[in-house]
Structure 1
Amino acid sequence: MKIALLGYGKMGKTIEQIGLQRGHEIVIKTNDEDGYDLSQVDVAIDFSVPKAAFFNIAKCLKQGIPVISGTTGWLDNYENAVKLCKENKGAFITASNFSLGVNIFFELNKNLAKMMSQLKQYQVSIEETHHTQKLDAPSGTAITLAEDIISQHQAYSKWLLNDTKEQSILITANRIDDVPGTHSIEYKSKTDSINLTHTAYSREGFALGAIVAAEWILGKEGVFTMNDVLNIG
């Protein structure tokens, strides 16, 4: 398939490598918000920046190009993207993390939260560690983990970064050189603790997931998630 990479930073370059390895063609590589022609494109993968993401997504959907978006920080416009997708009978996936392992991790987190909701003696917290070039904190993945816990566990109604209050989930964000991404969930009581951790060793896992999602979405219509791609949940 012919791929447009909208956002050609470190992640875009890794996606390019994985895409070429899997026999695909990269026909567009750009950091420009405009000025690219989608006429020869089968699918677009957006790993741009928050201010450009919705523009890229809207342009693709209006031209009938399926789009995979891994950019975070633009979700104030998510419902507008869904509306555009439906109006244009397009196809669209956005995810806070495209790693296949992380999406399994998301499901384990929801199932664990459901089981732990009956055990009031445990307090949950989340810790995430990323490279120093990551600008947002907490990570989109940590936010997804926290929101999934809240959806399953009636003791929590919100998450807080580096702070604790009643009915809140503490998220601690660390920034260390050359760490692709580690996320840990801990349920701790006076007598023991339960830990669930995902550790990424490189960007390749994220890139592979984006390519797999792009392969999967061809020929489909609708708004999907990585659960649909992996047939889980």
Structure 2
Amino acid sequence: MKIALLGYGKMGKTIERLALEKGHSVVFKSSIDSSEGNFEDAEVAIEFSSPEAAVKNISKALEARIPVVSGTTGWLEKYDEMVKLCEKRNGSFISASNFSIGVNLFFSINEYAAKLMAPWKEYNVSVEEIHHLEKKDAPSGTAITIAEGILKHSNKKNWKLNTSEENSLNIIAKREEDVKGTHLVSYDSEIDTISFVHEAHSREGFAKGAILAAEWLKDKKGIFTMKDVLRIDEF
């Protein structure tokens, strides 16, 4: 598989190393300052850049009819625009807040737990996320996805960052040295606390999931999610 890497930071370099180990080739790579290779030779693009660059990178791939897998967060106010462009160009597109297989299983566990907890109003649910100091957006896209899964089965109206409002789901965002990504969901009552956590130990989980998504998407047309890639059924 011939890959274009749109964004060549820490994640891009990890994806490149793992892709080469799997026998794929990287025919193009770009960063803010430079690019190398021939983009038109790519069979699939993997996009991990910045919120400011994501829409431009995704559009570039869709306009060239190159399937694109995007893991950048913080740009989703433009998501519907990218969906329309994908449909217009008869393209292929997967966007995910997190490509880690473990995190995507965690999303489903979280949603199922929210469904189980829904009748028990004495429990107050909250989400906490911790990331490295370089992460620009807060809360993380992963935390937002977790919150959206909870809100489907909750009487809370929305999520808010660092709130004490009774009708809003509280997301706490922390930034600490060299944390790859930790997400904690807690249900607290006066009697007890139920909690579950996902902790990333390295970037490899995100990179492996992105490569898996690219392999799955390469010969398909349409707009998909990681649930399609991993065959995770709704419950």
TM bracket (short chain): over 0.9
Provide the secondary structure at the position in 1 that maps to 2:41: coil
Deviation at 1:144, TM superposition (A): 0.9
Q: Give yes or no for the alignment of 1:214 onto 2:178.
A: no
Assess if the C-alpha contact under 8 Å between 2:8 and 2:30 holds in 1.
yes
Aligned to 2:136: 135
Provide the secondary structure at the position in 2 that maps to 1:18: helix
Q: TM-score, normalised by structure 1?
A: 0.96
Aligned to 2:172: 172
Q: What percentage of residue pairs aligned between the two structures are identical?
A: 55
User: 1:39-75, CA deviations, whole angstroms, 9 ceiling, x for partnerless residues?
Assistant: 1100000101112111111111111100000011111
Assess if the C-alpha contact under 8 Å between 2:4 and 2:26 holds in 1.
yes
Structure 1 CA distance, aligned partners of 2:35 and 2:14? 23
How many residues end up aligned between the 2 structures?
A: 232
Aligned to 2:232: 232
Aligned to 1:97: 98
Structure 2 CA distance, aligned partners of 1:34 and 1:219? 29
Aligned to 1:185: 185
Aligned to 1:116: 117
User: 1:189-231, CA deviations, whole angstroms, 9 ceiling, x for partnerless residues?
Assistant: 1111111110100000000000000000011000000000000
Aligned to 2:204: 204
- Kindly provide the amino acid, as one letter, of the partner of residue 16 in structure 1: E
Assess if the C-alpha contact under 8 Å between 2:131 and 2:182 holds in 1.
yes
Structure 1 CA distance, aligned partners of 2:206 and 2:29? 18
Deviation at 1:29, TM superposition (A): 1.4
Deviation at 1:98, TM superposition (A): 0.5
Assess if the C-alpha contact under 8 Å between 1:128 and 1:172 holds in 2.
yes
Assess if the C-alpha contact under 8 Å between 1:4 and 1:28 holds in 2.
yes
Assess if the C-alpha contact under 8 Å between 2:6 and 2:48 holds in 1.
yes
Assess if the C-alpha contact under 8 Å between 2:27 and 2:39 holds in 1.
no
Structure 1 CA distance, aligned partners of 2:109 and 2:19? 28
Structure 1 CA distance, aligned partners of 2:30 and 2:59? 16
Structure 1 CA distance, aligned partners of 2:35 and 2:88? 24
Structure 2 CA distance, aligned partners of 1:30 and 1:57? 13
Structure 2 vs 1, CA of residues 50 and 207 (structure 1 numbering), >3 Å: closer, same or farther?
same
Deviation at 1:151, TM superposition (A): 1.3
Structure 2 CA distance, aligned partners of 1:56 and 1:33? 14
Structure 2 CA distance, aligned partners of 1:52 and 1:83? 18
- Kindly provide the amino acid, as one letter, of the partner of residue 118 in structure 1: P
Provide the secondary structure at the position in 1 that maps to 2:152: helix
User: 1:142-194, CA deviations, whole angstroms, 9 ceiling, x for partnerless residues?
Assistant: 111111111122x2111121121021111111111111000000001111111
Unaligned runs of 5+ in 2: none
The CA RMSD over aligned residues, in Å, is 1.4
Deviation at 1:38, TM superposition (A): 2.2
Provide the secondary structure at the position in 2 that maps to 1:163: coil
- Kindly provide the amino acid, as one letter, of the partner of residue 230 in structure 2: L
Assess if the C-alpha contact under 8 Å between 2:28 and 2:35 holds in 1.
no
Deviation at 1:32, TM superposition (A): 4.0
Unaligned runs of 5+ in 1: none
Structure 1 CA distance, aligned partners of 2:33 and 2:177? 29
